[in-house]
Amino acid sequence: MTERFTGSFTQQEPIPEEGIAAAVEAMRHGRLHRYNLAPGEAGEVALLEEDFAAFTGARYCLAVASGGYAMATALRALGVGPGEPVLTNAFTLAPVPGAIASLGARPVYVGVTEELTIDLDELEARAGEARVLLLSHMRGHIADMDRLTAICDAAGLTVIEDCAHTMGAAWCGVPSGRHGAIGCYSTQTYKHMNSGEGGLIVTDDEELAARMVLLSGSYMLYDRHRAAPPPEAFERLKWETPNVSGRMDTLRAAILRPQLRVLPEKCAAWTARYRVLEAGLRGIPGLTLIERPEEERFVGSSFQFLLLDWPAEAVAEVVAACAARGVELKWFGAEEPVGFTSRYESWRYAPAPPMPATDRVLAGLLDMRLPLTFSLADCAQIARIVSEEVGARGARRTAAE
């Protein structure tokens, strides 16, 4: 009898009871705006910022309304303006180039390797084309950050890290988000902490931190922050920095703080599920796994593999066959964007020259979520289904060749 998976790829874990209780308490007192505090009260948002700064080892942290807002705020703080080129990954999701375009700036795409990281040779060749790199650690794959940092330092290129998929990850022991000038994180439902929408920004730079607090809409109440620069850092900037309101509210921060306390255990649980899937798909004809470097401590909250050089109709056949058996694969090679899955040529507000090496990778790239509502046995079953559907077609292709 043919196996069929019955789990949901979009069902997240429930919010911890501690978070539910804190959210209910916030609703009872009604002070949901981050600056609406009782005498002597720190507030959930300020406490979350303090907690997350300690978690990442950053001097400063700001909680905001979304990961996309976090990236746009980081770009604004660096003075990026209309018409300015900003380097970024060709393999990413729409909010990354969207953050650049929201300022009237121009995304300039750098290609992707078969390891699903930014092409560092191409980055080195093009580093002089811009002064800022908005680096996306797309789907949790971290490039060689030692080499990337050396390239950017040599070219005077300031790095903003998009860590939407790497909260809790690290390269050579350095937390993701701590190699560049600014690290941006998301707490959207499908990320490593869940508040529906939300974002966090970290930096060690006092002026950048002060600018971002003012940009987020502090209404001269910046002294109520705990993971921010001292009040004197704001004195000059407060007269020249616009309010682009995008604060996080008390309710979301209350939900997030208990999740942060258990994040390391959750990261380990995701990666255990990833390893089960990886083991089940190793050696399948025609299927290329993404080998993870030893320097990378990754969080396996999603899984990717490649069907390199397969005809589009054969990849579409695999996607449809797996879907019929309950396994949802997202394909980055489809002609039309579907749901969250789109690619650089879909974002026509930022035209790009042909990128054949990147196109080859994306044409064969398949992706799936691994929510913690899946058990290890679920992951083993998913691997069996994918291996059967890919393996049968891969064997036929090998025989035909």
> Where are the chain's structural domains?
17-261, 263-400
* Confidence (pLDDT) at 252: 98
Report residue 290 as tokens: 């993404």
Number of residues that make up the chain:
401
Answer yes or no: is pLDDT of 393 > 90.
Answer: no
Number of H helices, E strands in the chain: 12, 14
* Confidence (pLDDT) at 343: 87
pLDDT tens-digit map of 205-247: 999 999 999 999 999 999 999 999 999 999 999 999 999 999 9
Q: What mean pLDDT is predicted for residues 338-363?
A: 89
Gyration radius of the chain over CA positions: 22
- Reported as a pLDDT band with limits 50, 70 and 90, residue 401 is low
* Confidence (pLDDT) at 273: 98
> Could you tell me the CA-to-CA distances from 38 to 18, 32, 33, 285 in Å, in that order?
21, 11, 12, 63
Percent of the residues in the chain that have a pLDDT greater than 70, as a whole number: 98
Of residues 264, 298, 88, 71, the one with CA closest to residue 181: 71
* Confidence (pLDDT) at 341: 81
pLDDT tens-digit map of 134-163: 999 999 999 999 999 999 999 999 999 999
Domain 263-400 indexed as CATH 3.90.1150.10: yes
Q: What mean pLDDT is predicted for residues 285-298?
A: 97
* Confidence (pLDDT) at 332: 94
CATH number for the domain formed by residue range(s) 17-261: 3.40.640.10
Output the DSSP codes for 133-194.
EEEE-GGGPPP-HHHHHHHHHHHT-EEEEE-TT-TT-EETTEETTSSSSEEEEE-STTSSS-
Question: Residue 296: which H helix or E strand, with range?
Answer: strand 296-297
Answer yes or no: is pLDDT of 274 > 80.
Answer: yes
pLDDT tens-digit map of 58-100: 999 999 999 999 999 999 999 999 999 999 999 999 999 999 9
Q: How many Cα atoms sit within 13 Å of 314 on the Cβ side?
A: 19
Tell me the C-alpha distance between 195 and 192, whole Å.
Answer: 10
pTM for the whole thing?
0.96
- Reported as a pLDDT band with limits 50, 70 and 90, residue 386 is very high
Tell me the C-alpha distance between 5 and 369, whole Å.
Answer: 14
Which ranges of 282-400 does DSSP label H, i.e. alpha helix? 312-324, 356-363, 376-400
Average pLDDT for the chain:
96
* Confidence (pLDDT) at 400: 59
Torsion (CA) 70, 73, 78, 83 in degrees, nearest 10? 110
* Confidence (pLDDT) at 338: 81
* Confidence (pLDDT) at 3: 95
